[in-house]
C-alpha cells in the first residue's frame, strides 16, 4: 500500500526548468519501480520516465536529453528534473508506483501536479 504526493508543478516560460517531487508513504525499497506520466488535454496519458528499484531508468523519446528522473531513498522521494521546457510539455504530471507481491503487480497513482509552459 502506497500513497503518493506530487509537488513542484507550476508556470514556467519556454526554455525554463522545473523539478517535480513525488513523496511516497513507505520506503521506496519496497517498490518495484516508479515513474512519471503526463496527460495533456485531448491526449492519452503517456509515460515520461521510469526508474526501477535497481536504479535503471528509461525515458520517452520526446524528453530524452532534457528530463532526468532520480530518487532519494532516505527521503522516500522520486524526482523529475525538467530542463529546456517546451509548450508541448504542458500537462498534468502523475507519479506512479508499482509493487509486486507473489507475481502480482499493484499500481498506485498520485493526484497529479500541473505543469504549464507558456510565455
The tens digit of pLDDT for each residue in 25-57 reads 877 767 889 999 999 999 999 999 999 988 999
Q: What are 73-113's pLDDT values in tens digits?
A: 888 899 999 999 999 999 999 999 998 888 888 999 999 99
Per-residue pLDDT at 73: 84
Measured CA angle at 41 (ends 37, 42), to 5 deg:
105
- Residue 117 grid cell: 509552459
Per-residue pLDDT at 74: 85
Q: Which of 4-8, 24-28, 60-64, 90-94 has the lowest mean pLDDT?
A: 24-28
Q: Place 67 in a pLDDT band, splitting at 50, 70 and 90.
A: very high
Per-residue pLDDT at 92: 98
Q: Which of 16, 22, 20 is nearest to 78 (CA)?
A: 22
**CA 32, CA 97: separation in Å to the nearest integer?**
8
Per-residue pLDDT at 111: 96
What ranges in the chain are assigned the alpha helix state H? Answer: none
Average the pLDDT over 52-69 and give the result. Answer: 95
Can you list the pairs that 65-72 forms with residues at least 24 positions away whose Cβ atoms lie under 8 Å?
A: 69/35, 69/36, 71/28, 71/34
Amino acid at each position: 500500500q502506497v500513497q503518493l504526493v506530487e509537488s513542484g508543478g507550476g508556470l514556467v516560460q519556454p526554455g525554463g526548468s522545473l523539478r517535480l517531487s513525488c513523496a511516497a508513504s513507505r520506503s521506496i525499497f519496497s517498490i518495484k519501480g516508479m515513474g512519471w506520466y503526463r496527460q495533456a488535454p485531448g491526449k492519452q496519458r503517456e509515460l515520461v520516465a521510469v526508474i526501477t528499484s535497481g536504479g535503471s531508468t528509461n525515458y520517452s523519446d520526446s524528453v530524452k536529453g532534457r528530463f532526468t528522473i532520480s530518487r532519494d531513498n532516505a527521503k522516500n522521494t522520486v524526482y523529475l528534473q525538467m530542463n529546456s521546457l517546451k509548450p508541448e510539455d504542458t500537462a498534468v504530471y502523475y507519479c506512479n508506483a508499482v509493487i509486486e507481491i507473489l507475481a502480482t503487480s499493484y499500481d498506485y497513482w498520485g493526484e497529479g501536479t500541473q505543469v504549464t509552459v507558456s510565455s
